[in-house]
Each structure stands twice: as C-alpha cells, then as structure tokens.
Amino acid sequence: MVKTYESPAEYDIEEQKRESKLGPHYKWIALSNTTLGVLMATIDSSILIISLPAIFNGLGVNPLTPGNVTLLLWLLLGYIIMSSVVVVSIGRLSDIFGRVRLYNLGFAIFAIGSTLLYVVSYVFTGTTAVMMLIIFRLIQGFGGGFLFANGTAIITDAFPKKQRGTAMGINQIAAIVGSLLGLIIGGILSAIDWHLIFLISVPIGIIGAVWAYLALKEVATIKKVQKIDIFGNITFALALALLLLSMTYGLLPYGANNTGWSSPYVVGGILLGLLLLMAFILVELKVKDPMFDLTLFKIRAFSAGILSLFLAGIARGGLQFMLIIWLQGIWLPLHGVNFIHTPLRAGLDMVPLLLGFLALGPISGHLSDKYGTRLFSTAGMVISVVGFLFLAALPVDFNYPVFALIIFILGLGQGMFTAPNTTSVMNAVPPEQRGATSGIRATFTNMSFMFSMVVFFSLLIVGFSFGLPGALYKGLVSQSVPAAAAQAISRLPPTSALFAALLGYNPMQTLLPQNVAQSIPKANLTVITGNFFFPNLIAQPFLQGMHYVLIIAAIMSAIAALASAFGGKRHARQTGESFNSDNGRHALAAR
C-alpha cells in the first residue's frame, strides 16, 4: 500500500510523528552503532596489508615462494571477496526478515570469526595456520557482509530526509577512514605484537553485538509474504565469486607471461562468470520477488550514483595500493628507511590522505542536506581529478611536503563526494528496497576495491615489463653477478618484486639465489641488498607504470563527476522519498 501526501509539509509532519514514536535520541544511537560496525569492518578489510610480513614471519612461512603466493592472495583478499559475494543477498533478506535482526547477527558472526583468528594465531604455525586463518577470515568477511548490507539502510530508516546527508557523512567517512586506519593500526600492532592484529576486533565485535541487540529497533516494515529468490541468489553469488577469483589469479604469472590473463582457467572463469551474471539478470526480470529489483536502475539518480560510486572506488582503491608500493618500494628506502620498517612508515606517511577525508566528509554531508547532493558529489570528483594529475606530475623521489599536500587534496575530494553520493542513492529508492539497495551499494564498493587492485596492478606490471628486465640485468652485472645468473634473475616476473615491496621484504634478498649470493664479493652483495640498489633500478619502470595508473584514475574520476552532475535532480526533495513531480504529490510506502 502506498500513502500519498498533498505537500512536502504534510510529509514532514508524518516524519515528526515517526521520530517522536522512536524517541529523539534513537537516530543517534542507530548512527553511532552502525558507524562502529562499518569502522570495524573496514579496518579489518585493510589491516592485513601492512601486517602480512609480521604474520608470515611469526608463522614461519615465506609468502613469496611459488607455492605460497596463492595463500598470500587469499589471506589478503578473501575477506573482501566473501563480503562482496554475500552482501546483496543479505540486503534483500534483510528487507524480508528485518534489517536490525540480520545486522545483529552479522556483529555476532564477526566477533566469532575474530576470536577464532586470534586463537589460531597462537596455537598453530606453518601453512596449516595460514590456511586456518584464511578460513576464519572468510567467516569474518561473512559477518562483515551483514554489517555492510544493513548499516546505511538502518540509518536511512532512522533519520528524516533533512538530516540524512549529515548522518551519511559521518557513517561513510568512517568507512573510508577505517580502510586507511587499518593500514596505520596494522603497522603499529605488528611492530608491538602481531597477534594483536586479530585480537583488536574481538572486544569491539562483542560490545557492538550486545549494544546492537539491546538498543536498535526494527523501524522498517518486514514483508514476510515475499518469497526468497533462491535461484537469483545462487547465480549472483557464483557469478561474482568466479569473476573476482579469476581476476585475482590474473595477477599471477602464467607460463612465460608476467600475468595470468592468458591462462585458460582465468579466461574460462571470467567467461563463465559473465554467463552466470546474464542468467542472473534474466532470472531477476522474470521472478515475482527478485533478489534485487533491476527496474531501480531506471531511476536516474540511483543508476548514476552507483556508477559514480564504482568509478570513484576504483580510483581510490588503486591510489591506496600504488602509494603503498611507491613509498615502501622506492621512496622510503631511498631516504634511509630499512625495508623491514617501511610498512609502518608508509601507513604514517599516508595520514594526510586520512585528514583530507575527515576535513570535508561530515561538512559535505551536512551541506548536502541544505543545498542538494549533486553540487558536492560533482565537486568532490573534480577535486580528485586535479589531485591525480598533480600526483602524476611528481618525480619518483618527490619532496614529501608537496606529496602530503597532494594526497590531502585527494582526501578532500573523496571526502566531499562520499556522503552526498550515498544520500542520493539511498533517497532515490522506495523504503521497502533500502536493504537491497544498501547491499548493492556495498557490493559495488567492495568490487571497486577488487577491480582497482586487478586493473592498476596489471597496468603497473605492464609498465614494469618494458624497463625492469634490462635495468635489472645491467645493475646486477655491474655488481659482479655472472651474466647467466643476472639474465635469469632479470626474467623473473615483476609480480615478485612488487609483492616484496608491498610486504616490506628486501626485494633483492628475495630474488637473489643463495648460490649466486655466495659467489660474488661481499662488498658487491652489500650494495645489491642495500637500501638504494633496488629502488634506483625500478624507479623509472615504476614511474612509467604509475603514470598510466594515475592518468586512468583521473579519467575515471572525471567520468564519475559527469555522472554525478547529470545523474540526479538538484535537491533531495525530488528523489524517491520526496515530492513527486509527476503528480504533484509525495508518495511513500506505508510503514
């Protein structure tokens, strides 16, 4: 049943009645709990990036040996893959069985997964321990999917439309800040005791689960008469899992190629994933109660918001990975920082990016409540374009204050974009679709992170492939390494060097065989394994690959700006839960 309102003022009165029924403080309780949930979930999505060297060393496993690279990828990306695959299904189930109920369940699952991770880190060692950590990270990611799927929907239910931008500003900035805080916290805790990396989320998960159970209320109407779209859920989950896994394995070498894009398993997995995705679309168009109502993409504000969200996420995720490699593999060693200490320093050097998010995120959300979402989301992406172009103009051995200013500007742009974008998407859909919409938002956000790593990492490897082998061969020969050995080392896939830099290992100690190291003079070995040899060798090849990455990130941000500018109407009152310009009345599904 749909209830209509003769004017926006009548709708505002209805909103006030609903708020008085919930109590004046409930919306802030909902915001604080969901913000804690998304902060915790996003911190854990990135906390392992910098912590992996300490974890693998503590477990006695070398992640860069051929047999262990797959374990490295799964431990690093399994969390994101799992939450991406399940989040849309969870969002739709939440619309049927209750958003708060499934959100509470997610907190509990997350706490259980975190506890199991901490226990395993102390009890087991070797590859067995790594495989168990992967399994429990998948459980943790499953719980995180419940939090991602329901957080924004619970906030949208709790807040009146005139305050949603402010609420989304706080919540969504917490999500972005969490992914950056994960880098810093992971670096600090791994320097103290790497077991704490898994322990930190245990008390937060338990407190959040108990608090959510006691304080949150089921505001949305639960429509239990709807059927669960089983076939749609299965086809979507399988399609997304195949696509993400195939693209991830595309980063690994295959045969004589530096990447795996020519592998029949990778190509076959992507094609099968696309076929399943097409089957999912056909199912959703036919079934009575679809997992996700694809007709929502006919709403311009929704489809444009999702598109700009996805493109902005790819640009931001690629930036995060590329900056870490730039800092850890080149800039910090050239400035006297030992490789083993570069992960923590890289996290700290990226603080200006975090400050940029914090500076404009909440303000942009608040102003979008008054002046509409389009101006701020568009301006945020335009600022991001400028930031990426400035970053592309930097030399490899940059001046840090200039670098800090540029990434601060990038943080400002991304912070200005996020809350208005989220608000416009959530306002554009009917209330009974908010759970599924929140899920699809979270899926595109997580997918953008995966796409960014796959696309930009591949571009960087291509850039490396042109210049690195020759530079590596000449550099090794000049340090008395036999020509045959230097030739063999120079042909090694660039992926190994990139992963070594990302993990804070000394790349040349990883690449140089033990028998070769013993055969050359000690003075030459000291130079090869020192701070300056490898960074100087890869500086120009890296700059070439990085230039591609940053230009493409700028182009994606520009397209996201255009989508934001032309995708929606000027003010939030013209979105899905507001004044209906077609019939002059406001329509809202009855609660």
In 289-383, which ranges are E strands?
Answer: none
SS3 373: coil
Judgement on whether residues 369 and 442 belong to the same structural domain of the protein: yes
Nearest to 103 by CA among 233, 223, 218, 224: 218
| Domain annotation covers residue 147 | yes
SS3 257: strand
Residues of the chain scoring pLDDT < 50:
1-6, 570-591
Judgement on whether residues 326 and 218 belong to the same structural domain of the protein: yes
| Domain annotation covers residue 88 | yes
Judgement on whether residues 448 and 476 belong to the same structural domain of the protein: no
Say what the pLDDT of residue 588 is. Answer: 38
Number of structural domains found in the chain: 3
Residue that terminates a domain, selected from 288, 306, 339 = 288
Cα(533)–Cα(527) distance, integer angstroms: 6
Judgement on whether residues 184 and 39 belong to the same structural domain of the protein: yes
Query: 30: which 2 tokens?
Result: 């909902």
Judgement on whether residues 364 and 430 belong to the same structural domain of the protein: yes
Judgement on whether residues 449 and 405 belong to the same structural domain of the protein: yes
338: left (phi over 0), alpha (psi -120 to 50) or beta: beta
Cα(185)–Cα(203) distance, integer angstroms: 16
Burial 157-184 (b: 16+ CB within 10 A, else e): bbbbbebbbbbbbbbbbbbbbbbbbbbb
Q: Supply the pTM of this predicted model.
A: 0.79
Judgement on whether residues 413 and 437 belong to the same structural domain of the protein: yes
| Domain annotation covers residue 589 | no
Cα(326)–Cα(322) distance, integer angstroms: 6
96, 224 Cβ separation under 8 angstroms: yes
Burial (Cβ within 10 Å: 0-12, 13-18, ≥19) of residue 52:
buried
Burial (Cβ within 10 Å: 0-12, 13-18, ≥19) of residue 15:
middle
Question: Hey, how many other C-beta atoms are within 10 angstroms of the C-beta on 254?
Answer: 17
584: left (phi over 0), alpha (psi -120 to 50) or beta: left
Say what the pLDDT of residue 16 is. Answer: 64
Query: Residue 33 belongs to what domain range?
Result: 2-228+289-464+540-579
Order of strands across the sheet that contains 579-580: 2-5, 585-589, 579-580
| Domain annotation covers residue 588 | no
| H/E segment holding residue 185 | helix 164-192
| Domain annotation covers residue 485 | yes
Judgement on whether residues 171 and 95 belong to the same structural domain of the protein: yes
Sequential DSSP letters for 527-546: HHTSTTHHHHHHHHHHHHHH
CATH number at residue 84: 1.20.1250.20
Query: 56: which 2 tokens?
Result: 């693998």
| Domain annotation covers residue 283 | yes
Residue that terminates a domain, selected from 288, 304, 337 = 288
Question: Hey, how many other C-beta atoms are within 10 angstroms of the C-beta on 198?
Answer: 28
Each residue's pLDDT tens digit, 399-409? 999 999 999 99
220, 95 Cβ separation under 8 angstroms: yes
Say what the pLDDT of residue 591 is. Answer: 32
Judgement on whether residues 544 and 522 belong to the same structural domain of the protein: no
Judgement on whether residues 54 and 18 belong to the same structural domain of the protein: yes
| Domain annotation covers residue 176 | yes
Residue that terminates a domain, selected from 258, 288, 318 = 288
Judgement on whether residues 224 and 235 belong to the same structural domain of the protein: no
Say what the pLDDT of residue 571 is. Answer: 39
| Domain annotation covers residue 317 | yes
Judgement on whether residues 28 and 40 belong to the same structural domain of the protein: yes
Hey, what long-range contacts does 31-35 have (CB within 8 A, 24 or more apart)? 31/155, 31/158, 31/159, 31/167, 31/170, 31/171, 33/208, 33/211, 33/212, 33/215, 33/216, 34/103, 34/147, 34/150, 34/151, 34/152, 34/154, 34/155, 34/171, 35/151, 35/170, 35/171, 35/174
Nearest to 132 by CA among 59, 205, 204, 81: 59
